[in-house]
Amino acid sequence: MNNKIRLSHVSMIVSLAVVLSLMTAYVPMLGILSLVIPVPYAIIGTLSNKKYSILSIVVTFLILMFSVSPIYSVNICILSVIPGIIIGNIAKKGMGQKEYNKFEPIYGGIIAFVISTIVFFFVAKIIFNINLITELMGIMESSIQLQSEIIKDTGSKMIEGLSINDLLKYIGNMIPTMLFFKSMISAFITYYIEVIILKRIKIVNFQTPKFTEFYLPGNAITVSFSLYLLVLLLEIMNVNLHTELIMINLQMVFNAMFIIQGIAVCIHYVKTNRKKGSSKLIFFGVIFLCITGFMGISFIGMLDSIIDFRKVRSYKSI
């Protein structure tokens, strides 16, 4: 592969990533930079071989372990380094291919970030004896109590009848959905910034994925329906796995994904009809969306997963 980079270049990229990690550790105001830590490793995954990728993980782990703390080192390596390299490897497989799903690194990245987060929770509990969920809920409980006391002191009746325990329970139930959305945002940011950087330095000319071309991979409808049937089967078998909670989170995730695809379809047709001067279609489309709201957008996204209105792929979902 002609675009491979040497060890010296990998060392420079890892050094930049380590500096970003140290900045987020020692300067709390720069915590937002944690979102871009996976980007250098995505570049390494795209432009180097597996040996250099593994070496970058080891070097990052050792430097952060001795300069910050072991748990922070594990945090960065599991939650940022490994998902970044996975996104880079998936992007590398698509280089030079004519028919390539430009969103595939994002899909793979979402899965990688979700699994990495679950693994980190498990490692933190087993090795460091830290229950991150409990710690997080404790912080949220103290924050909510503080806010409720402030509101009560003002004499407002806005929170009358509101139970803090019920609110915390609701937030706890939504953790899987929040985890998915955090992973989706991280995957989007990582891949988009990587593509922009590689195009700027003219090493690899990736095509930037356009939002109007977004579509769910594979048989989205079939997969969602199969998951619902599986959850119902578990409930019938009386398996104590909080099936209602799983069902709610599945519904929220798929609704959100269909809404995103529906918005992409709407933007695509607005742009297409503006070029053709078909203002009537745009007008009636806006009225339809105003009446149906997010439910209508989600329905459009679901239909596009089956019919492929925009002809952005060479296969149908079903």
Per residue in 280-310, pLDDT (tens digit) is 777 777 888 788 888 888 888 888 888 877 7
- For residue 26, the tally of other CB atoms under 10 A from its CB is 10
Q: Which range in 79-88, 134-143, 157-166 is most confidently predicted, on average pLDDT?
A: 79-88
Which helix H or strand E contains 86, and what residues bound it? helix 82-93
What does the pLDDT read at residue 19? 95
Check residues 30 and 60 and name the one with the higher pLDDT. Answer: 60
Tokens standing for residue 236: 């019938």
What does the pLDDT read at residue 102? 77
Query: What is the helix, strand, coil percentage profile of the chain, to 5?
Result: 75, 0, 25
- Rounded mean pLDDT, 122-134: 83
Q: Is the pLDDT of residue 177 over 90?
A: no
Please check whether residue 26 is in contact with residue 69, taking contact to mean a CB–CB distance below 8 angstroms.
no
Q: How far apart are the first and last CA of the chain?
A: 36
What does the pLDDT read at residue 220? 67
**What is the rounded distance in angstroms from the CA atom of residue 292 to the CA atom of residue 184?**
26
What does the pLDDT read at residue 159? 60
Average pLDDT for the chain: 81
The pTM score is: 0.79
Contacting residues for 211 by C-beta, under 8 A, at least 6 apart: 264, 267
Burial of 8 (0-12, 13-18, 19+ CB in 10 A): exposed
- Nearest alpha carbon to residue 120 among 172, 179, 170, 163: 179
In three-state secondary structure terms, 179 is: helix
**What is the rounded distance in angstroms from the CA atom of residue 302 to the CA atom of residue 310?**
13
- Nearest alpha carbon to residue 37 among 53, 59, 54, 60: 60
Instruction: Work out the percent of the chain whose per-residue pLDDT is above 70.
Output: 85
- Rounded mean pLDDT, 19-40: 92
